[in-house]
Amino acid sequence: MKAFFQSLLGSLTAFIILGVISLVAFFALIGAIATMSDQQIVDVKAGSVLVFDLNTTIKDAPPMTTVDAALQEALGGGSYSATYLLKVLDAIDRAKTDEDISALLLHGNLLQDGYGSGLAAISEIRNALIDFQSSGKPIYAYLIDPSQKDYYLASVADEIWINPFGMISLNGLATNGPFLGNTFEKYGIGVQTTRVGEYKSAVEIFTRTGMSAPDREQKTVLLNDLWQTLLAEISVARAIDPQEAVQLSNSSAFFTAEDALAAKLADKAGYLDELIEHLVATYDYSKADESFQQVDLVDYANARGFEMDTFMIDVSDQERIAVVYAEGEIIDGGYYPDYVGGDWLAYELRRLRKDEDVKAVVLRVNSPGGSAMASEIIQRETRLLAAQKPLVVSMGSYAASGGYWISAYADKIYAQPYTITGSIGVFGLIFNIQEAAEGFAVNFDGVKTSPFADIYTVTRPRSESEMTLIQKFTDEIYDAFIDKVAEGRSIDAVQVREIAQGRVWSGLSAKGLSLIDEIGGLDTAINDAVKLSELSELTIEQIPAPSTFADTLEMLLAEAGAAPVAKISSPLNRIATELEGLNRQLRALNDPRSVYTRMPYGLEGL
């Protein structure tokens, strides 16, 4: 027995020593990662070509550095790249007049994570590239197998090179998604819905096996609107007749390098080393890189972008413009990455309203909507803020339903042609697991004091009287939505009802319907806010602010058990991504009254 306890004590001691060593090594590794993950300031040499690597997700809001991304980068496995729109726009704008920058090179394929890299944001970057060309500096693009979004962006280049084995796609836009009506029925999950608006189709994925006629109509009109605009812009850039572009898309859709050259979609076919040789011959040579003199766009932004100015001073005591990002689904509660927490955003807007040094606010909305209660909490603060100082809304790729709700009272609303907005409608969504539980021989029973005391239970379906009550306050919220849009936009309520009904519109259509004021991007909205505020010098505070890995160490424990998400494109990974997207949508359904203002599902990939 004594030998047993000696052995046990020895084992425990070894485990304790091993644990202490592991803990010390762990924190040493975390410290090393934090150091390695800090922004590296590069020396921008004269004659440099600005290299814009598109293998990134371009968010609207500054992305948060996650633990798995920092680990991957620190251990030499590359990095999951993400940057944000304002940083890219600012870098391109500064490079336009920077004597050290001679040209710009685009290459790679855009990544889309969450609501990043949407068509509206890419359109803003494309316009910035066109403005860059006004300086006389050329843009080169190197393509291998670009998506339509990649090609749309690259189409402005002075020279488009395509890999001899590459292919350009112009096959059109499509949207499709799962319908879970049979799925929930098969597994005994009951779904009951209320809604107002003929086109308010977000509930349909939970109740139907396919699209309804109104949903098919609105999505067909929307996609055709976006596609015609996209083809028209490509046609102008490539000096192709618009009708010819339509014909090319309808008849061929996919273009090999040879076909792309014949159709004037590209200028040269060549391998990357051949393009590099061309750039070496045209621009300065770098001995260190054994290539042309170059600087990565993100490195350039870190060295000479507006963030450097911001980090050098404490903006909290400066007269400034605040740029607030509402990116992701609107949920009830506080701050959570990739969602718009109603309480969190309302707090930030309230803080900015009370700060006398904040002279104007730009609210950047990139959201399909979500919780009606959270949207109203946010909108209350936008109304109060707009009564005291200028409030300008810049709509990103999505500003629909709840995303429109929080925008309605701005002094001015800007959107891009590719913005998906409107969707002024409301729906209620209630699940129950009674039948599923019975399949496992589980029954529920209880008592209550009043007829509606357990109206929100998931253990049984709602009665007819309960559904009548839920429909009643669904109708009331819809009426309030109409009234708020009418008041905020100074439109007659009858007219709002005609264009509402839950229908989604493109930015171009929204302008004609007076749902927005002007076509323009984030930079246009910021410039307008500066004019309205009468500031002589621009200083920007961003909310949430750009962060480093050190700022996100507090998330370590929360993420420690999570497996890194593979970013490699494959059929299995695409399936996993679709399922994760559905899981994200279900998690966002947390309105305390189960009533939502959200645009139709299935449009988020545009």
Residues 6+ apart with CB under 8 A from 84: 58, 59, 60, 61, 62, 63, 546
- Using only the alpha carbons of the chain, give its radius of gyration: 27
> Alpha helix (H) ranges present in 109-203?
119-133, 148-154, 181-186
Q: How far is the C-alpha of 328 from the C-alpha of 398, rounded, in Å?
A: 9
**Distances from the Cα of 362 to the Cα of 309, 351, 352, 485, 525, angstroms:** 19, 14, 11, 19, 7
Q: How far is the C-alpha of 191 from the C-alpha of 206, rounded, in Å?
A: 7
Q: Which of 87, 137, 149, 200 is catalytic?
A: 200
- Is 547 among the residues known to form the active site? no
**Distances from the Cα of 606 to the Cα of 423, 588, 600, angstroms:** 16, 20, 13
Q: How far is the C-alpha of 278 from the C-alpha of 363, rounded, in Å?
A: 44
Do β-strands 518-519 and 412-415 pair in parallel, antiparallel, or remain unpaired? Answer: parallel
Cβ proximity of 461 and 434 under 8 Å: yes
How many other β-carbons are positioned within 10 Å of the β-carbon of residue 194?
23
Cβ proximity of 37 and 73 under 8 Å: yes
Cβ proximity of 396 and 439 under 8 Å: no
Q: How many CA atoms lie within 13 A of 224 on its CB side?
A: 6
Q: Which helix (H) or strand (E) segment is 500 a member of?
A: none
Q: How far is the C-alpha of 478 from the C-alpha of 9, rounded, in Å?
A: 69
Look at the alpha carbons of 180, 181, 185, 188 in this order and tell me if their dihedral is positive or negative: positive
Tokens of 605: 């990939």
**Which string of DSSP letters, residue by residue, matches 501-551?**
TT-EEEHHHHHHTTSSSEE--HHHHHHHHHHHHT-SS--EEEESPP--GGG
Q: Which of 48, 102, 401, 533 is catalytic?
A: 401
Q: Which helix (H) or strand (E) segment is 401 a member of?
A: none
Look at the alpha carbons of 481, 327, 373, 580 in this order and tell me if their dihedral is positive or negative: positive
**Which string of DSSP letters, residue by residue, matches 106-134?**
EES--B--TT-S-HHHHHHHHHHHHHHHT
Cβ proximity of 93 and 131 under 8 Å: yes
Cβ proximity of 169 and 162 under 8 Å: no
One-letter amino acid for residue 479 of the chain: D
Do β-strands 426-432 and 190-196 pair in parallel, antiparallel, or remain unpaired? Answer: antiparallel
Long-range contacts of 281-286 (CB under 8 A, 24+ apart): 282/103, 283/47, 283/49, 283/102, 283/103, 284/45, 284/46, 284/47, 284/48, 284/102, 286/45
Q: How far is the C-alpha of 130 from the C-alpha of 133, rounded, in Å?
A: 5
Cβ proximity of 384 and 353 under 8 Å: yes
- Is 200 among the residues known to form the active site? yes
Q: How many residues does the chain have?
A: 606
Residues marked active site are found at: 200, 401
